[in-house]
Amino acid sequence: MSTNIYLTGFMGAGKSTVGRLLAMALGRRLVDLDDPVSRRLGMPIRRAFATLGEDTFRAAESAELKKLASRGGLVVATGGGVPVDPANRALMRGSGTVVHLAATLPGCTGRLGPVEVAERPLWQDPGALERLFASRQEAYADCDFSVAVQGRSPEEVMREVAAELLGSEEFVLDMEGRSCRVASTWDAPAILAQEIRGRRVALVTDRKVGGLHSARYREVLDDPVIIELAPGERSKSLRTAERVYNAMLEARLERGDLLVALGGGVVTDLGAFVGATYKRGLGLALASTTLLGCVDAAIGGKAAVNLGAAKNQVGCFTQPQAVLLDLQALSTLPRKQRVEGLAEAYKTGLVAAPELAELCAQDMATLLGGDVPGLAEVVRRAARAKAGVVTEDFREGGRRAILNLGHTYGHAIEGWHRFRLGHGQAVAAGMMVAAAISAQRGLLASDEAGRVIETSRALLPKKLAWAPAGEAWEIMLNDKKNQGGKVRFVLLEGVGRAVVVADVTTRELAEAIEQVRG
């Protein structure tokens, strides 16, 4: 269960306003503690405080706080006096993160406005108000971190709170001796600014991503060349690559310049392919804005475009100087795109990081609901796990092949649907088939296979047309992972233990499809 985020501070510090913005940014529900307290007491807060007395009011406040603490996954705007009780502070610290919005008393007065001040009895005695304000500062200081609000907009405060909550984590990915900076961060443009180093920049993105995120990136770019593509898998083609080449030539981009690919897997794959081949390679940075891109597509140095229904048939290995995993962008993703990324993250966990697989299996409903702190944790674990495999086997000559769990049948059903089925959903279907074959062969315990199948099933559309074994096999015969004309499958001997085989039969495939299709 994800923990709560509690906002504390004096009356007028902006807890409700910042809380609303923060809840939207983190994909969570905001609860203003005054609301359930008012419902519990059957009257507005001010009247309850005046008629029932402070002791009764505080008891109700503590009782409702305890209920919220047991739920988790919320942003809670607390009342100004909540932290005064040590028991309340202990409850909040034990069930979440406590954030103090530090305001001055004049600032609080200004934010409330004259009408609200006039309606509050406490604010009619300036001396008593100052003493109350001063008396609460020690309790407010008992927090996980504090953010100053004076002279700042609620949006600015929210961004600082979110950045502090999600943090910024970096590691270096070794790609055959070349270092790639991988950063998961709320403020990806700031990291990009450090990588530009005075060079001209070409920014390639799609129109949808550009509308959502390019303004943040343009703030750190000096007159970039902007190349916008049509959204969707069809842009991942040689024809689109040629269009990008021509735009870069027209702008006189040189090998010493920097290409930034901003978007999901389609854009970063295409951008990496262009960056590796334009004038035999130029500087490259990938800024991933989708969960699928953050956990998989942007990490690993593989770049490719499609040929018709055959996915990733023309490509190369490439070595970007930086990969930015844009956590702020996660809040803009629709559920379908969360499904895509969670399928790949779960796959990586199954083959290389059991704790990641367990996180996905246990919290799948919360993650699918869009909880950004949870998704950020998935991103970090998946990125590190995949990077570990890539470092060991950059060109997929050995161990890296395990990352193709679910991809053999997955790519086939994706192509069979002519890419109208999302990649992540296709991989989820492929993992179900692989788990069933693994159990049929006695490699994987039936209960483990069942859990993989049911966890993956949560990622599928309600009604899925399964590609028949014979038709899928014809597509799989062109899979780039094949060797010696044999179709290769990744199977499981247990969570975290994968094996690559090349002897799966069409009969086994048909039986597995029949078993999992439900």
Q: How far is CA 91 from the centre of its chain?
A: 28
**What pLDDT was estimated at residue 126?**
87
Same domain, 247 and 301: yes
**What pLDDT was estimated at residue 115?**
75
Same domain, 192 and 250: yes
State the 10-residue block means of pLDDT for the chain, 518 residues long: 91 96 97 96 88 93 97 96 97 97 93 76 83 96 97 96 95 94 97 95 97 95 96 92 97 96 95 96 96 93 86 90 97 94 97 97 96 97 96 89 95 91 93 98 97 97 95 88 84 96 96 93
Encode burial over 114-142: b for 16+ CB neighbours within 10 A, e otherwise: eeebeeeeebeeeeebeebbeebeebbee
Same domain, 186 and 298: yes
**What pLDDT was estimated at residue 121?**
65
Domain housing 22: 4-164
Under 8 Å between Cβ of 280 and 254: no
Under 8 Å between Cβ of 59 and 81: no
Give the three-state DSSP class for 11.
coil
Same domain, 180 and 297: yes
Cα gap 202→258, rounded to integer Å: 6
Give CB contacts under 8 A, 24+ apart, made by 153-160: 154/14, 154/17, 154/18, 154/21, 155/21, 157/14, 157/18, 157/101, 158/18, 158/21, 158/22, 158/25, 159/186
Query: What's the total number of domains in the chain?
Result: 3
Same domain, 79 and 101: yes
Q: Is residue 438 part of a domain?
A: yes
Same domain, 230 and 321: yes
Q: What is the CATH number of the domain that holds 86?
A: 3.40.50.300
User: What residues pair up with 203 in beta bridges, in sequence order?
Assistant: 226, 260
Per-residue CA distances from 195 to 321, 326, 487 (Å): 8, 15, 41
Same domain, 315 and 400: no
Q: What is the CATH number of the domain that holds 433?
A: 1.20.1090.10
Under 8 Å between Cβ of 171 and 384: yes
Same domain, 178 and 291: yes
Cα gap 288→459, rounded to integer Å: 21
Under 8 Å between Cβ of 208 and 400: no
Residues whose CB is less than 8 angstroms from the CB of residue 6 and which lie 6 or more positions away in sequence, other chains included: 76, 78, 92, 96, 97, 98, 99
**What pLDDT was estimated at residue 110?**
86
Same domain, 88 and 190: no
Under 8 Å between Cβ of 406 and 196: no
Q: Is residue 366 part of a domain?
A: no
Same domain, 243 and 289: yes
**What pLDDT was estimated at residue 105?**
94
Cα gap 488→315, rounded to integer Å: 20
Q: Which of 481, 482, 493, 498 is nearest to 402 (CA)?
A: 498
Task: Give the residue from 164, 185, 209 where a domain finishes.
Answer: 164
Task: Give the residue from 109, 133, 164 where a domain finishes.
Answer: 164
**What pLDDT was estimated at residue 129?**
92
**What pLDDT was estimated at residue 342?**
98
